[in-house]
Structure 1
Amino acid sequence: MFSGIVESVMPIISSEELVNAYRVKIKKPSEFDDIKLGDSIACDGVCLTVEAFDDTQMTFALAAETIKVLEWNPSSWLGKKVNLERSLRFGDRIHGHLVTGHVDSLGTVLRAEHEGESFFLDVKVQNSILPYVWKKGSITLNGVSLTVNELKDDTVSVCLIPETIKRTNLGDLTKGSRLNVEPDYMARAIQRSLEVKKD
């Protein structure tokens, strides 16, 4: 479980194709000095398991379902800078919202525009997640916990403050960019509970 508060932004330094999977290596932040094999780390919002690491890099495997959801293209991801967050510990303050790291869809940026110190993003999301998105609710984009400013049809609007722009890769997005989307998992759980009760 994560909070959607990015700790570091680091590049993917290698990608190896396996049988129905990929293995990637990401530059290791110096502050990640407490990680262990098997730890979970959110990489652009995707929960991945640490397979190996040393002082300079961390290794993860992407399984078939993750590749399918992310439309994985190693040629475009190599060198890409990704948002990183270590999993929460019991007793930690939660400054964002509870995030599972189970990304199930991609969004497309329709607008990426600076207005003064703020950066506005309009993101077209898949219809399947719309029941879990509402104005002033929470949404995770590339692993970043954000508040929904507006929801119009299938477009989510958010506003980034300077600190978020500085600490994440969202400020690099442009019109047409694709990004990982996770709706509020509590809303999804409630919806599922209501569906089960109907049955």
Structure 2
Amino acid sequence: MFTGIVEEIGTVELLEVAGQDARLRVRGPLVVSDARPGDSIAVSGVCLTVTELPGDGSFVADVMPETLRRTALGDLDVGSAVNLERALQVGGRYGGHVVQGHVDGVGAVRSRTPGPRWDDVEIELDPTLARYVAEKGSVTVSGVSLTVTHVGDDAFGVSLIPTTLEATTLGSLAVGARVNLEVDVLAKYTERLLSTAGVLR
């Protein structure tokens, strides 16, 4: 489990796709400082398992081709910047919200409006996901926990504070850029419970 509080911006050093296998190597000295094979690291919102630690400040993870197709990780190239977060430790500070690292869909930046010290960003999403997004609720965008400022039928807004602009890849997102989206898992569980109880039909 993660919190959506990015620890560092990493750099893709290798992305190999061969048949049904894909390998991703990312440089992230902070997140590998105490990592072991088998640990989970969120890469721009996608939970990946560490398979190798070369010992040079990078880690290697196997990525299913399906993951590359269903997330924005498929857009990565060598040199791409990615948001990195280690799995939450028991007793650690919980500064974001419940993030699983299970991407629900890929959105795209519709607009970006600079403010005095922040940027207002509107992101398109699949209308089937919009029902899980609520104003003042939480959403994860490429691994970053954000508060929703407004929501419509096929888009929602967020405001990026200076820290987010500086410490995550969201600071350099251009209009049209694709982003990984994870909606609030509590909303999905609530819908599931109500539907099985016959409240929602």
Superposition TM-score, scaled by structure 1 size: 0.94
How many Å separate the matches in 1 of 2:82 and 2:59? 13
Task: Tell whether the 8 Å contact from 1:107 to 1:126 is kept in structure 2 after alignment.
Answer: yes
1:179 and 2:182 matched: no
Deviation at residue 47 of structure 1 after TM alignment: 0.2
Tell me the distance in 1 between the aligned counterparts of 2:30 and 2:134: 37
Which residues of structure 1 form unaligned runs of 5+?
A: none
C-alpha distance 64-195 of structure 1, shift in aligned 2 (>3 A) = farther
Q: Which residue of 1 aligns with 2:84?
A: 84
Q: 1:60 and 2:61 equivalent?
A: yes
- Contact preservation (8 Å) 1:121, 1:158: yes
Q: Could you tell me which residue of structure 1 aligns to residue 167 of structure 2?
A: 167
- Assess if the C-alpha contact under 8 Å between 2:45 and 2:103 holds in 1: yes
Alignment match, 1:94: 94
Counterpart secondary structure, 2:48: strand
Q: How does 1:109-188 map to 2 (within 5 A)?
A: 109-188=109-188
Once the two structures are superposed, what CA deviation does each residue of 1:86-118 show, in whole Å capped at 9, x if it has no partner?
A: 000111121010100000210010112211111
How far 1:131 sits from its partner (Å)?
1.6
Which amino acid counterpart does residue 59 of structure 2 have in structure 1? Answer: M
Distance in structure 1 (CA, Å) of the matches to 2:82 and 2:72: 16
State how far apart, in whole Å, the 1-side matches of 2:196 and 2:19 are.
37
Letter of the structure 1 residue corresponding to residue 104 of structure 2: D
Size of the aligned set, in residue pairs, is 198
Runs of 4+ in 1 over 4 A off after TM superposition: none
Q: Which segment is superposed worse, 39-48 or 151-160? A: 151-160
Cα-Cα RMSD: 1.6
Gaps of 5+ in 2: none
Q: Is the 8 A contact 1:119 1:161 kept in 2?
A: yes
- Native 8 Å contact 2:108 2:125 kept in 1: yes
1:41-64 CA distance string (max 9 Å, x none): 000000000000123210011113
Distance in 2 between the 1:135 and 1:165 partners? 21
* C-alpha distance in 2 between matches for 1:18 and 1:52: 18
Instruction: Provide the C-alpha distance between the structure 1 equivalents of 2:100 and 2:27, rounded to a whole number of angstroms.
Output: 23
Q: Compute the displacement of 1:71 (Å).
A: 5.7
